[in-house]
């Protein structure tokens, strides 16, 4: 019983991180119609900024993290404004290739500036809780609890933002029909830049939360990005709640596969499960029937 | 109110508007008619700022608005109710109306106007919380017009509001347009393929023929014009 609970908690933690990544990817996809392949790398690049402020400049942790998130927002918004907007009129494919190019640029830059070394990043909160249930014991890190809280807060915040604010409504409208949104007087350019900014910030936040265990290095976000994409597909790719459900589910499935069947095969086995789900329901768990933007 | 001079628009190298002149006077209904591909929607989309003009001028209330950003055009008081309705299918009826009022800030006035457009199209008030995509064709067209009205426009441009609707529903929509024009002094620029209905309600009309203005005149006069009758009314 305690093993089950322990694995569930770890799975939820991994799932929350995957869900945050999936949420950012889906948000950018929904509003601007492009899958951002550079997503994880932009998060990785942002956390190096936090690392530099923390260790080279000597700024406190909270300040370094804040700067990192502001940097990520600016990075996302200016990538949209300066690069993707320029090829928007060509095709969605051109934008996709551009994000692949950005992936290589950020990878190269990080390797040049910070080398391939693994660097440590502190937990935002330290300490471990031990809960005794009968004869078993549950070990829960405070950082893991924080991850769950932060992910839940962001998801709730985004939900409220999209449902109840004017800008949130404008983002939803733009995602559904860009030309109609323009005709209603919405500055869609601002909306695109905004969703890129928020999306990439989510990537930076997941990097900050994951870094104490993955360490900081140029490829640190690769596994999360792949699983984030998978979680997003599982959820339907064009649905924000779907990204959350798909992400968390993927994390939990993976954890149980690792614990009960085989640690080595956990990724393959979870992908197999997802394949079966998609065979039965091709639009994903919560996706709309037809996804038009590719 | 709106004055278009020598407007030229290209799609790549293909010319779509070959220098058209057109005027919409205040408080009138002006119709813009023509066959498929004549350039009617292009004209509206150029006014709305979705397409860029290569040459010519668009003046609105003595101000040059050629190639302005679409959000500025809406703020100036021109709104387009586009062809095929272009609603936001996964937003509710009420949310669609709220997006229509995007450029306005007075919350009480916006809520008042929502009540107002719902009395104008009562069927919509029963559907207020429904997704726009679940409405019938006629209801969707009504919502598209209601959404445009939420911008509190002075000039309403409609692109084929009767397209794909049952004659009875189309008639209802035209009745509403007359009412908006007569009782609320709303200026209307109406693009239509249904020349009969459009000419009957319009004060002035222009007929576009592959990028050029062919005929122009008062709506009821054009309705009697033998050339128009033969070409566009099929009699």
- Does residue A105 lie in a domain region? yes
- Does residue A223 lie in a domain region? no
Q: Which of B78, B56, B48 is nearest to B10 (CA)?
A: B56
Separation in Å, CA of A176 to nearest CA in chain B? 6
Is the CB of A124 inside 8 Å of chain B's CB atoms?
Answer: no
A 10 A CB-CB count for A159 gives 14
The complex scores an ipTM of 0.93
CA distance linking residue B77 with residue B65, whole number of Å: 12
- Does residue A6 lie in a domain region? yes
- Within the 184-223 window of chain B, which residues sit less than 8 Å (CB to CB) from chain A? none
- Indicate the number of domains in chain A: 1
Nearest-CB residue to B50 (from A177, A182, A186): A182
- Does residue A26 lie in a domain region? yes
If phi over 0 gives left and psi between -120 and 50 gives alpha, with beta otherwise, what is residue A134? left
Q: φ, ψ for residue A134 (rounded to 5)?
A: 60, -120
| HEC string for chain B | CEEEEEEEEEECCEEEEEEEEEEECCCCEEEEEECCCCCHHHHHHHHHCCCCCCEEEEEECCEECCCCCHHHHHHHCEEEECCCCCCCCCCEHHHHHHHHCCCCCCHHHHHHHHHHHHHHCHHHHHCCCCEHHHCCHHHHHHHHHHHHHCCCCCEEEEECCCCCCCHHHHHHHHHHHHHHHHHHCCEEEEEECCHHHHHHHCCEEEEEECCEEEEEEEHHHHHHCHHHHHHCCCC
CA distance linking residue B201 with residue A85, whole number of Å: 43
Q: Which of B60, B31, B20 is nearest to B210 (CA)?
A: B20
- Does residue A64 lie in a domain region? yes
If phi over 0 gives left and psi between -120 and 50 gives alpha, with beta otherwise, what is residue B49? left
Range(s) of the domain holding residue A157: 2-218
What's the whole-number mean pLDDT along residues A89-94?
A: 90
Q: B50 and A166 in contact by Cβ < 8 A?
A: no
> Which residue blocks in chain A are alpha helix, DSSP H?
2-32, 39-52, 61-79, 85-87, 92-114, 142-164, 166-176, 178-183, 188-214, 222-235, 240-256, 266-280
- Does residue A247 lie in a domain region? no
CA distance linking residue A159 with residue A157, whole number of Å: 5
Q: Examine the pLDDT at A289 and tell me if it is beyond 90.
A: no
Q: B99 and A186 in contact by Cβ < 8 A?
A: yes
Q: What is the per-residue pLDDT across B58-100, written as a single tens digit (0 to 9) for each?
A: 999 999 999 999 999 999 999 999 999 999 999 999 999 999 9
- What kind and span of H or E run contains A140? strand A136-141
Terminal CA-to-CA distance of chain A, rounded, Å?
44
Separation in Å, CA of A184 to nearest CA in chain B? 6
- Does residue A248 lie in a domain region? no
CA distance linking residue B91 with residue B129, whole number of Å: 9
Give the per-residue pLDDT at A294: 39
- Does residue A124 lie in a domain region? yes
Q: B91 and A186 in contact by Cβ < 8 A?
A: no
CA A74 to chain centre: 17
> A240 CB contacts (<8 Å, ≥6 apart)?
A23, A26, A27, A30, A158, A159, A162
- Within the 95-114 window of chain B, which residues sit less than 8 Å (CB to CB) from chain A? 95, 98-100, 102-103
Give the per-residue pLDDT at A287: 79
Please give the domain boundaries of chain B with CATH numbers for all domains.
2-231 (3.40.50.300)
Q: B99 and A181 in contact by Cβ < 8 A?
A: yes
Q: Which residues of A touch B69 (CB under 8 A)?
A: 187
Q: A184 and B82 in contact by Cβ < 8 A?
A: no
Q: Which residues of B touch A181 (CB under 8 A)?
A: 88, 99
CA distance linking residue B59 with residue B47, whole number of Å: 9
A 10 A CB-CB count for A136 gives 13
At A264 the three-state DSSP class reads: coil
Residue of B nearest to A168 (CA): B99
Q: Examine the pLDDT at A293 and tell me if it is beyond 70.
A: no
**How does pLDDT run along chain B (235 residues), one tens digit per residue?**
999 999 999 999 999 999 999 999 999 999 999 888 899 999 999 999 999 999 999 999 999 999 999 999 999 999 999 999 999 999 999 999 999 999 999 999 999 999 999 999 999 999 999 999 999 999 999 999 999 999 999 999 999 999 989 999 999 999 999 999 999 999 999 999 888 889 999 999 999 998 999 889 998 888 888 888 887 777 6
Are B175 and B142 in contact by the 8 Å Cβ rule? The answer is: no
The DSSP output letter for A105 is H
CA B119 to chain centre: 21
Best mutation site among B51, B74, B88, B132 for testing chain A: the one with the most A CBs within 10 Å? B88
Q: A182 and B91 in contact by Cβ < 8 A?
A: no
Q: Which residues of A touch B151 (CB under 8 A)?
A: 184-185
Q: A176 and B91 in contact by Cβ < 8 A?
A: yes
Q: Which of A191, A141, A184 is nearest to A162 (CA)?
A: A191
Q: B86 and A173 in contact by Cβ < 8 A?
A: no
Q: What is the per-residue pLDDT across A220-253, written as a single tens digit (0 to 9) for each?
A: 999 999 999 999 999 988 889 999 999 999 999 9
- Within the 146-205 window of chain A, which residues sit less than 8 Å (CB to CB) from chain B? 166, 169-170, 172-173, 176-177, 179-187
């Amino acid at each position: 019983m305690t093993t089950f609970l322990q694995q569930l908690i770890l799975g939820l933690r991994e799932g929350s991180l995957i869900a945050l990544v999936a949420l950012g990817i889906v948000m950018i996809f929904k509003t601007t119609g492009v899958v951002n392949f550079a997503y994880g790398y932009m998060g990785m690049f942002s956390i190096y900024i936090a690392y530099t402020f923390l260790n080279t400049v000597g700024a406190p942790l909270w300040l370094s993290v804040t700067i990192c998130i502001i940097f990520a927002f600016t990075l996302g918004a200016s990538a949209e404004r300066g690069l993707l907007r320029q090829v928007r009129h060509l095709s969605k494919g051109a934008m996709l290739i551009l994000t692949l190019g950005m992936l290589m640029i950020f990878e190269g830059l990080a390797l040049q500036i910070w080398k391939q070394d693994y660097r440590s990043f502190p937990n935002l909160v330290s300490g471990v809780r031990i809960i005794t249930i009968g004869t078993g014991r549950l070990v829960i890190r405070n950082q893991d609890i924080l991850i769950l809280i932060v992910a839940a807060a962001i998801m709730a915040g985004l939900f409220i933002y999209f449902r109840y604010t004017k800008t949130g409504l404008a983002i939803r409208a733009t995602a559904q029909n860009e030309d109609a949104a323009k005709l209603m007087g919405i500055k869609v350019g601002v909306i695109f830049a905004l969703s890129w900014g928020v999306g990439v910030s989510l990537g930076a936040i997941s990097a900050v939360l994951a870094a104490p265990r993955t360490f900081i290095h140029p490829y640190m976000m690769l596994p999360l990005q792949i699983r984030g994409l998978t979680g997003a597909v599982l959820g339907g790719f064009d649905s924000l709640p779907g990204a959350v459900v798909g992400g968390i589910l993927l994390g939990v499935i993976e954890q149980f596969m690792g614990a009960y069947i085989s640690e080595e095969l956990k990724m393959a086995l979870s992908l197999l499960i997802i394949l079966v789900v998609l065979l039965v329901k091709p639009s994903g768990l919560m996706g709309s029937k037809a996804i038009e933007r590719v | 109110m709106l004055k278009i001079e020598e407007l030229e628009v290209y799609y790549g190298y293909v010319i779509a508007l070959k220098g058209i002149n057109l005027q919409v006077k205040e408080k009138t209904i002006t119709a813009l008619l023509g066959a498929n591909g004549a350039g009617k929607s292009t004209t509206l989309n150029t006014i709305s700022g979705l397409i860029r003009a290569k040459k010519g001028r668009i003046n609105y209330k003595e101000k040059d608005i050629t190639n302005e950003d679409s959000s500025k055009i809406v703020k100036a008081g021109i709104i387009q109710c586009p062809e095929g309705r272009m609603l936001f299918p996964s937003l509710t009826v009420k949310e669609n109306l709220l997006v229509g009022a995007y450029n306005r800030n007075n919350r009480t006035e916006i809520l008042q106007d929502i009540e107002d457009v719902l009395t104008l199209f009562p069927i919509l008030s029963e559907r207020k919380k429904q997704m726009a995509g679940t409405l019938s064709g006629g209801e969707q067209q009504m919502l598209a017009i209601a959404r445009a009205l939420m911008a509190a426009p002075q000039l309403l441009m409609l692109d084929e509001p009767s397209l794909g609707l049952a004659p009875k529903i189309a008639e209802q929509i035209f009745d509403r347009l007359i009412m908006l024009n007569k009782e609320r002094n709303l200026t209307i620029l109406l693009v239509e393929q249904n020349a009969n209905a459009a000419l009957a309600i319009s004060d002035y009309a222009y007929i576009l023929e592959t990028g050029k203005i062919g005929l122009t005149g008062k709506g009821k006069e054009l309705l009697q014009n033998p050339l128009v009758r033969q070409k566009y009314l099929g009699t």
